[in-house]
């Protein structure tokens, strides 16, 4: 027989409001609430009055938070945070008038990060990347997607993906890895893009066999790869049963969103130039639109993603940092939410949905992104009076405690 005084939870927080994000509209707000978890899973997310017993009469940890809000742990569903060096010099060049595409065509841009990653060994790459992941976690992130794409050879891509996995282990958070070898053409393949795609397709099953690949991505763009090449990469992913996503229609309408939808992809990301046909294809396929306002902001873009069409066709919208050394050196997902509200006029509720439930969906996960019994005990306690504050403040520290899988991680 269980000891009747033994609490049915490992931890219980009372004296807070919850934004559960459970259900279709609103924040899923619950005042005077309690959140309990056991063995890494939420067991109670509801009114304090609905607890099975008076918590104070039971043994087991009970914390009175004394106010504030708890949201699901934030999910950053698009990052390139494993890299070496920085591209501050390129930032300065752009401020002098140089253009991102022009810098890339002259061998800078992504390729300058490729040189730095190739030179760094695995330990150095981990040491440089961990503080970025820590910064994201400190501001509420409990699940991170991390892409390869600065190695562009077998060993370099493998090194990046291994570092991504190690970040998850080191910080106790969820990390999903994405194979993005089709990010740029490495110099040794200059003029031979199709031969490079052959190599990308050959490396994929080998890295997958090492457990290093959760999804496959490509950069479909004038300075990336064309639709036929992207399609070949997606076919290779499909053979292995791996989900796909795409850097689509960022700088021009290359029909990338429609292609990723055709493959039943998880997400089309950037999507500033996505056409109405692309939006409709996404809606039919259930493909999430991942908005990356950090890159939009840093590149001083003016072309807005088709937000009203996404809303009209009920395409779920996610928001991510796109943390990368070139176009979005952004170390706070909350700041990305702020930029999404300011530049794209998302409502704070859409922005929070975009970094929780919809971002989890962009990773193909329904075990997180909401506060509901049975989902992972990933949650953040915020020192705020209302959820809109998460998008209102620029900078600062609002997260007072961050839990992943029921363990305190920040």
Q: Which residues are annotated as a binding site for N-formimidoyl-L-glutamate?
A: 150, 324, 326
CB-nearer residue toward Fe ion: 42 or 82? 82
Interacting residues of 89 by C-beta distance below 8 A, sequence separation 6+: none
Report the nearest approach of ligand NIG to the CB of residue 128 (Å). Answer: 15
3-class state of residue 7 by DSSP: strand
Measured between alpha carbons, how far apart are the two ends of the chain, in Å?
A: 36
Given 17, 71, 113, 267, the residue binding ligand NIG (CB under 6 A): 113
Residue facing Fe ion at closest CB distance? 322
Q: Is 321 in the site for ligand NIG (CB under 6 A)?
A: no
Instruction: Classify residue 313 as exposed, middle or buried by CB count within 10 Å of its CB (0-12, 13-18, 19+).
Output: middle
DSSP 265-328: -SEEEE-TT--HHHHHHHHHHT-EEEE-HHHHHHTT------HHHHHHTT--EEE----BTTTB
Q: Which stretch binds ligand NIG (CB under 6 A): 37-45, 137-145, 151-159, 325-333?
A: 325-333
Residue 108 binding target from ligand NIG, Fe ion, none, CB below 5 to 8 Å by type: none
* Choice between 249 and 322, CB closer to Fe ion: 322
Task: Please report whether residue 219 would count as binding ligand NIG according to CB under 6 A.
Answer: yes
Q: Which is nearer to ligand NIG, 175 or 404 (CB)?
A: 175
Considering only the stretches 43-51, 131-139, 195-203, 320-328, report the one whose residues sit in contact with ligand NIG under the rule CB under 6 A.
Answer: 320-328
Min. distance of Cβ 290 from ligand NIG in angstroms?
10
DSSP β-bridge partners for residue 289: 268, 317
Binding residue numbers:
78, 80, 87, 150, 183, 247, 250, 322, 324, 326-327
Residue 221 binding Fe ion, by CB under 5 A? no
Among 42, 237, 295, 377, binds ligand NIG (CB under 6 A): 295
Tell me which of 22, 272, 322, 378 binds Fe ion, using CB under 5 A: 322
How far is residue 216's CA from residue 218's CA, in Å, rounded to a whole number? Answer: 7
User: Does 178 participate in binding ligand NIG (rule CB under 6 A)?
Assistant: no
Q: What is d(CA 105, CA 102) in angstroms, rounded to the nearest whole number?
A: 5
Q: Which of 249, 322, 350, 378 binds ligand NIG (CB under 6 A)?
A: 322
Q: Does 109 bind ligand NIG (CB under 6 A)?
A: yes
* Residues touching ligand NIG, count (CB under 6 A): 14
DSSP string, 314-331: T--EEE----BTTTB---
Choosing among ligand NIG, Fe ion, none, which partner's interface includes residue 219 (Cβ < 5 to 8 Å by kind)?
ligand NIG
Q: Which does 68 bind (CB under 5 to 8 A by kind): Fe ion, ligand NIG, none?
A: none
Among 11, 186, 306, 326, binds ligand NIG (CB under 6 A): 326
181 binds ligand NIG (CB under 6 A): no
Distance CA 288, CA 269 (A): 8
Least Cβ distance, residue 78 to Fe ion (angstroms): 6
Check residue 325 for interaction with ligand NIG (CB under 6 A): yes
3-state class of 171 per DSSP? Answer: helix
Nearest approach, Cβ of residue 84 and ligand NIG (Å):
12
Measured from the CB atom, is 68 or 109 closer to ligand NIG?
109
Contact residues for ligand NIG, defined by CB under 6 A? 80, 109-110, 113, 219, 247, 250, 295, 322, 324-328
Contact residues for Fe ion, defined by CB under 5 A? 322
């Amino acid at each position: 027989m269980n000891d009747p005084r033994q609490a049915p939870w490992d931890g219980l927080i009372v004296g807070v409001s919850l934004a559960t994000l459970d259900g279709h509209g609103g924040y899923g707000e619950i005042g005077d609430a309690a959140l309990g978890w056991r063995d890494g899973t939420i067991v109670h997310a509801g009114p304090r009055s609905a607890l099975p017993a008076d918590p104070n009469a039971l043994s087991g940890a009970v914390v009175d938070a004394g106010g504030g809000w708890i949201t699901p742990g934030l999910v950053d569903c698009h990052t390139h945070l494993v890299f070496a060096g920085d591209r501050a010099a390129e930032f300065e060049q752009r401020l002098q008038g140089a253009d991102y595409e022009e810098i890339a065509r002259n061998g800078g841009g992504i390729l300058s990060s490729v040189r730095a990653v190739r030179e760094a060994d695995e330990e150095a790459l981990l040491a440089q990347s961990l503080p970025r992941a820590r910064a994201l976690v400190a501001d509420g992130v409990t699940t991170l997607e991390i892409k390869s794409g600065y190695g562009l050879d077998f060993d370099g891509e493998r090194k990046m993906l291994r570092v991504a996995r190690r970040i998850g282990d080191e910080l106790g958070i969820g990390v999903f890895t994405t194979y993005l070898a089709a990010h740029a053409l490495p110099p040794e393949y200059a003029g031979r893009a199709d031969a490079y795609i052959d190599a990308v397709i050959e490396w994929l099953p080998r890295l997958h066999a090492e457990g290093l690949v959760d999804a496959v991505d490509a950069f479909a763009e004038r300075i990336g790869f064309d639709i036929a090449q992207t399609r070949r990469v997606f076919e290779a992913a499909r053979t292995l049963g791996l989900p796909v996503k795409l850097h689509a229609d960022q700088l021009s309408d290359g029909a990338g969103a429609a292609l990723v939808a055709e493959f039943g992809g998880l997400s089309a990301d950037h999507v500033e130039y996505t056409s109405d046909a692309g939006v409709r294809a996404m809606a039919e396929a259930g493909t999430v639109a991942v908005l990356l306002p950090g890159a939009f902001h840093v590149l001083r873009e003016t072309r807005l993603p088709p937000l009203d069409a996404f809303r009209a066709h009920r395409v779920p919208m996610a928001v991510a940092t796109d943390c990368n050394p070139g176009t979005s050196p952004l170390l706070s997902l909350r700041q990305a939410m702020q930029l999404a509200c300011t530049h794209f006029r998302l409502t704070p509720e859409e922005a929070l949905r975009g970094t929780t439930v919809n971002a989890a969906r962009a990773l193909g996960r329904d075990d997180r992104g909401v506060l509901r019994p049975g989902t992972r005990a990933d949650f953040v306690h915020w020192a705020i009076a209302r959820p809109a504050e998460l998008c209102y403040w620029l900078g600062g520290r609002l997260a007072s405690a961050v839990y992943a899988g029921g363990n305190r991680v920040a």
